[in-house]
Amino acid sequence: MAICYRCKQGCRGYYRSSKSNYIQSWTWLDYSKDKAGNIIETLKGVRILGVLARIAICYFFASIIIYYLKPRAAFFVGLILLLAYWVLCYTLGEKGDPFSMTGWFGNKVDQAILHGPHIYHGESVNGKPYAFDPEGIMSTMSAIVNVILDILLVIIFKERQNFEMLSGLLVAGVAMILTGFCWDIVFPINKKIWTSSFTVTLQDLLPSPLPQ
């Protein structure tokens, strides 16, 4: 049984304390019973981010970067994003395990901005649901670079279609794969938090959109 917290049945206090927060207006209290018949009250909400939202956000920022910058400059912006994300993960994550799901600094950002009920709860820690969003705010930094590189690849194919271009892309692809695996030593390839090493490696292992 789900009861909106805007009602008067025991949850109005939460509404009063958070009614100025627009995001929390998508939240409700869910009531269920355990095996002993005890009523369990759980705060739930609409998930803000997700796969489709990430795709839209990444294409939005990548299109702006590509539109206003030249290809070389756009490439260096992507490189800066990857390096900046690496630094943030290492310096702001939990000491000793900054790249794990529980030690990743992006959890604190998502909790502060999106709040727990609006974060993905499909992961579990010690057998209990854990609020962790694999499409969270901070990991979008490196995901944007995937779109930037895809668009740059399309630009290259449109401008030049010859053996020199194909051989150059082959060398670049091998170099990126080697870079990704070497980077994995200090910044593990991790899809959950979309690490920079994962971005670099993924770019060469998945097909990119090519002009017809």
Question: What's the rounded mean pLDDT across residues 185-203?
Answer: 93
| 41/111 same-domain check | no
Q: Is 64 helix (H, G, I), strand (E, B) or coil?
A: helix
- What is the Cα–Cα distance from 165 to 148, expressed in whole angstroms? 19
Would you tell me the crossing angle of helices 51-68 and 71-92 to the nearest 10 degrees?
A: 130
| 70/154 same-domain check | yes
Token pair for 131: 């609020």
| 57/33 same-domain check | no
Residue 193's pLDDT is what? Answer: 94
In a domain, 212, yes or no: no
In a domain, 211, yes or no: no
Token pair for 92: 């702001």
- What is the Cα–Cα distance from 185 to 199, expressed in whole angstroms? 15
Residue 158: pLDDT over 80: yes
In a domain, 84, yes or no: yes
Residue 14: pLDDT over 50: no
Tell me the residue type at 52. Answer: L
| 90/156 same-domain check | yes
Structure letter (DSSP) for residue 27:
E
Q: Which domain holds residue 169?
A: 51-205
Q: Give the residue from 102, 123, 121, 140 showing the smallest Cα distance to 47.
A: 121
Residues 140 and 54 sit within 8 Å (Cβ to Cβ): yes
| 71/144 same-domain check | yes
Tally: H helices and E strands in the chain? 7, 5
| 31/82 same-domain check | no
| 154/185 same-domain check | yes
Output the CA torsion sign for 205, 161, 80, 172: positive
| 132/199 same-domain check | yes
In a domain, 144, yes or no: yes
- What is the Cα–Cα distance from 98 to 101, expressed in whole angstroms? 8
Structure letter (DSSP) for residue 94:
P
In a domain, 110, yes or no: yes
pLDDT tens per residue, range 51-100: 999 999 999 999 999 999 999 999 999 999 999 999 999 999 999 899 99
Token pair for 94: 């939990």
What is the pLDDT of the chain when averaged over all its residues? 82
Residue 173's pLDDT is what? Answer: 87
| 91/140 same-domain check | yes
Q: What is the CA radius of gyration of the chain?
A: 21
Q: Match 């000491």 to its residue by tokens.
A: 95
| 97/122 same-domain check | yes
Number of structural domains in the chain: 2
| 25/56 same-domain check | no
pLDDT band at 130 (very low <50, low <70, confident <90, very high): confident
Question: What's the rounded mean pLDDT across residues 160-189?
Answer: 89
| 38/58 same-domain check | no
